[in-house]
Amino acid sequence: MNVRFLPVVIALCVHSIAIATPVRAQEDSPCDRPVLSRLTRHRVVAGETLDSIADRYGIEPTTIVGLNSNLQGSNRVSPGQEILIPPFDGIRVNVPPGATWNDLAARYGVRADVLFEVNGCQMPGDVAFIPGTNWSPIENDTRPVARSQHPLDEGSPVLLGYGWVFHPPSNRVIFHSGWDLEAAVGTSVRATDAGTVAFAGQQGVYGNLIVINHQHGRQTRYAHLETMAVREGQEVRSGQVIGTVGQTGEPDMEAAHLHFEVRSNSDLGWVAEDPRSYLR
């Protein structure tokens, strides 16, 4: 499912995407070939755009741009141009000398066993494919990194984390774009920082959703709410109650929780980040 967040002109990445089971290259192989050896070469034809190509292959435009350096200046494709397409979303990264899958797992918030499998069940080489991670044109982010307050009590447990995670209800591994923070229905939800409400309303699988734009190109999203106490265009302060925890939309977990996301603005829309780098 590819969701476009039209009301406030912000690209909404998929809340959670299940990994399709890949076809084995060889029956006697314990693993598929590395993703970076299974790239599709696509030659652009007249009338195609970055979005239409991404839709054709079921991936995000950011994935295509990140894998093709010749697109990173213009974000446009031209007829006759050949571009590389991976089988699913992710980025190609240079591996630091001596780094292990555990090191990369800690850095990118992706399970080490998932990294091992999508990279051919072998030790890290010079480059690796990190599934589910959004490429961002901001390679050296110089924006302030001051931590913001928690949207719930500090002790609220994380039911489902950011990145490629095991999803108990479906018994599958999915990419999750934020944190699911356990809390009883009716628990107050607070703005993590001062900002402007960009959206407050019902939005598909997110249910009742509040989106707040902050300074320095940051954005936070609060989903599955029971009630909403703010409106679009309203200025909010850090710590202000903006709504209450609910179970609207299509929550990923049965237990009541707040789905919380942090995103960064880029030329290709709002890119999801790991909330742990943002919260106190």
**pLDDT tens digits, residue range 170-180?**
777 777 889 99
| Domain assignment present for 254 | yes
Residue positions counted in the chain: 280
DSSP-assigned beta bridge partners for residue 222: 210, 260
On whether both 207 and 116 belong to a single domain, the answer is no
Expressed as residue numbers, the domain containing 56 is 31-131
**Single residue among 88, 113, 131 that ends a domain in this structure:** 131
Least confident of 95-104, 125-134, 197-206, 222-231: 125-134
Is pLDDT of 110 > 90? no
Separation CA 139–CA 184 (nearest Å): 39
User: What is the total count of domains within the chain?
Assistant: 2
Binned at pLDDT 50, 70 and 90, residue 143 comes out as very low
**Single residue among 131, 150, 174 that ends a domain in this structure:** 131
Is pLDDT of 159 > 70? yes
Kindly state the percentage of the chain with pLDDT values over 70. 80
**pLDDT tens digits, residue range 131-140?**
876 666 544 4
Residue 201's pLDDT is 96
Phi, psi values for residue 245, rounded to 5°: -65, 140
Residue 267's pLDDT is 58
Residue 192's pLDDT is 94
Separation CA 203–CA 210 (nearest Å): 9
On whether both 122 and 188 belong to a single domain, the answer is no
Q: SS3 letters for 136-159?
A: CCCCCCCCCCCCECCCCCCCCCEE
* CATH number (domain holding residue 179): 2.70.70.10
**pLDDT tens digits, residue range 15-32?**
443 333 333 334 445 678
On whether both 115 and 168 belong to a single domain, the answer is no
Angle (CA) 110 269 87, round 5°:
45
> How many CB atoms are closer than 10 A to CB 51?
16
Q: Can you tell me the mean pLDDT for 181-195?
A: 94
